[in-house]
């Protein structure tokens, strides 16, 4: 069994579609449940690795960790996500306005 890195855009889209509210509590397990429904991940036997993506989102000021129970981590959003389009490659993803060092998940340009 191998490990597959999950794109930060996919996590941002899941949060935008399902948890985009500063009062909503959600967990890494719930995010994994949504990832497992996506075509790009559901057919694979790989272990989905997105721990690092969540840590980056804590550092950037998007995710507010509120509790941990064994391997389950619970979060709230500091600020809601809004769609943002990269000026360099036209890719649309989601950022909270207050987040630091926003980089396009596709071409890595500053957004």
85: contact with Zn ion by CB under 5 A? no
Closer residue to Zn ion (CB): 21 or 82: 82
Task: Evaluate whether 102 touches 40 at the Cβ level (below 8 Å).
Answer: no
Min dist CB 104 to Zn ion, Å, is 3
Token digits of residue 46: 């790989």
What distance in Å separates the CA atoms of residue 92 and residue 70, rounded to the nearest whole number? 35
44: contact with Zn ion by CB under 5 A? no
Closer residue to Zn ion (CB): 67 or 107: 107
User: Which position among 44, 55, 66, 89 is part of the footprint of Zn ion (CB under 5 A)?
Assistant: 89
Beta strand 63-69 pairing with 82-85: unpaired
21: nearest Cα among 60, 93, 78? 78
Binding residues with Zn ion: total (CB under 5 A)? 8
83: contact with Zn ion by CB under 5 A? no
């Amino acid at each position: 069994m191998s490990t597959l890195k999950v794109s930060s855009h996919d996590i941002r889209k899941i949060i935008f579609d399902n948890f985009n509210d500063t009062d909503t509590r959600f967990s890494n397990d719930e995010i994994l449940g949504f990832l497992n429904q996506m075509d790009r991940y559901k057919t694979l036997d790989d272990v989905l690795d997105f721990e690092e993506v969540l840590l980056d989102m804590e550092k950037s000021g998007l995710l507010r960790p509120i509790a941990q129970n064994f391997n389950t981590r619970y979060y709230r959003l500091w600020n809601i996500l809004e769609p943002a389009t990269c000026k360099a490659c036209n890719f649309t993803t989601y950022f909270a306005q207050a987040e630091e060092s926003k980089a396009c998940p596709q071409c890595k340009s500053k957004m």
